[in-house]
Structure 1
Amino acid sequence: MSVHLHEYILLIKELFGAGGFVMPPLFLCALLLWYGLGYRYWTMKSKRSMSIHDMLDFFSQNIDQSPRNIVEQAVQQGLALRNKGVNNLRRYLDEFFYVYLKEIKKFSVMTKTIVVVSPLLGLLGTVIGMIETFDSLGSMSLFTQSGGIAGGISQALISTQTGLAVAIPGMLIHSMLHKKQQKIERELLQIRELLCTQPTPFTQSSHLANQEKGSSS
């Protein structure tokens, strides 16, 4: 195991040396990107097949049921507030749901920024590699300590490839997670509207009691 780890470390060192000084920032960008994407995926993971209406009915009858995702947490929180009969329910729901909205948006700006910056870092490495290539051509030094023409072209291609390798998968996954985020935002809005428009159990019981009093009189 230690032998394979040592080989991987040597391979990374060779890659950093071949790609120039833009490789460490690109490696850091890759780490931050996949950490942010993993966090967003875990936050917005969904294991359900019920609609919002069915979910409200289910958790109204199963209060102690553990929520499996952020939407179910919002449903339970909203039902708890509604059952308390709080005044101005919409304002309270906005305050509580803001926490969920903030959670699903976390690291969104960071991942989008890295997706944009990574190809630019690769392009910077390309320019530096081409400058080294033309310097070698100008001085007619085909072989230098930095690699000469071959070293400059290799650095240009490796840095460009690494920048694209970081950006393209990140862009695709970020796009899918952004669509998931928009879906959850619509669902939270739907939960709020349904909870605010549907009568509370307290209101329903009071209405039935008033009807019984009216019929008895």
Structure 2
Amino acid sequence: MLGDLLNDFATYFELGGYVMPPLVLATVVLWFAIGYRFAALKRGNVRSVRRIIQKHPDGFGREPRGVIEKAIEQGISIGRSAHGDLRRLLDDAFWPIEREVSRFHKLIMTIVAVAPLMGLLGTVVGMIETFDSLGDMSLFAQSGGIAGGISQALFTTQMGLAVAIPGLIVGGLLERRAAVIRLELAQVKDILCARAQQGSPV
């Protein structure tokens, strides 16, 4: 069963021509980046930011379970020992978290944009091979002739779209989640700064 699957993949890979290896590499990199973002965007708590801080005004007393809990724990710790501009201190402390939330977004969107173009390149190469076969009247050449050229054209187009469409959908969903987390990080700063000014729990 596994052997047949590997043979099918090898045939598919071969029919796609020299455009197929970069497309396969792009697929691997894309799904690695998506998996990384999915793990990095784990929120850690279903409650609103205000409710979390109300429930845990002195911290969690355990390892934070997600990016929001990590930011709140870090912010509360900074608020206890802060001397000076708390907002600036929170901005500096949250910068690595915000950078982590945005990591690989541009890479995902670049691969999503480039994959169909690579598929189109394979299509053009396949059609050139087809017309060369027609011009030479070599319908059954060693390289596949007309059938080989059309196969290459269709396989690379299919692969390019198969990479781009799921990447576009999943990447868009992850970026929406990242936007919500960035907004919540700003809320954490606002709430902790207001709490420090009032001198009492929110």
Among candidates 81, 96, 100, match of residue 93 of structure 2 = 96
Task: Say which SS state the counterpart of residue 56 (structure 2) adopts.
Answer: helix
TM-score if structure 2 supplies the norm length?
0.94
Task: Say which SS state the counterpart of residue 196 (structure 2) adopts.
Answer: coil
Q: Distance in 1 between matches of 2:26 and 2:150?
A: 23
Deviation at 1:11, TM superposition (A): 2.1
**After the TM superposition, which parts of structure 1 deviate over 6 Å for at least 4 consecutive aligned residues?**
none
- Per the alignment, residue 13 of structure 1 pairs with 10
Distance 1:161 1:123, change over 3 A: same
- What one-letter code is carried by the residue in structure 1 that aligns with 2:68? V
Among candidates 157, 160, 164, match of residue 154 of structure 2 = 157
- Per the alignment, residue 80 of structure 2 pairs with 83
Deviation at 1:23, TM superposition (A): 0.5
Task: Say if 1:59 and 1:65, in contact at 8 Å, map to a contact too.
Answer: no
- What one-letter code is carried by the residue in structure 2 that aligns with 1:59? H
Among candidates 117, 121, 143, match of residue 120 of structure 1 = 117
Cα root mean square deviation, aligned:
1.7
Q: Distance in 1 between matches of 2:54 and 2:83?
A: 20
Deviations 1:120-179 (A, max 9, x none): 110000000000111111111111011111111111000000000011000000000000
Q: Distance in 1 between matches of 2:81 and 2:146?
A: 75
**1:72 equivalent in alignment to 2:69:** yes
Task: Say if 1:119 and 1:167, in contact at 8 Å, map to a contact too.
Answer: yes
Q: Distance in 2 between matches of 1:110 and 1:40?
A: 11
Residue identity (%): 44
TM-score if structure 1 supplies the norm length?
0.87
- What one-letter code is carried by the residue in structure 2 that aligns with 1:190? Q
Task: Say if 1:131 and 1:152, in contact at 8 Å, map to a contact too.
Answer: yes
Deviation at 1:48, TM superposition (A): 2.2
User: Where do 1:46-195 residues align within 5 Å?
Assistant: 46-195=43-192
- What one-letter code is carried by the residue in structure 2 that aligns with 1:65? R
Q: Distance in 2 between matches of 1:155 and 1:62?
A: 59
- What one-letter code is carried by the residue in structure 2 that aligns with 1:138? G
- What one-letter code is carried by the residue in structure 2 that aligns with 1:111? I
Deviations 1:65-107 (A, max 9, x none): 3321101100010011111242211111011110101111111
Unaligned runs of at least 5 residues, structure 1: 205-217
Deviation at 1:61, TM superposition (A): 4.5
Unaligned runs of at least 5 residues, structure 2: none
Task: Say which SS state the counterpart of residue 8 (structure 2) adopts.
Answer: helix
Q: Distance in 2 between matches of 1:51 and 1:181?
A: 15
Distance 1:43 1:90, change over 3 A: same
- What one-letter code is carried by the residue in structure 1 that aligns with 2:40? T
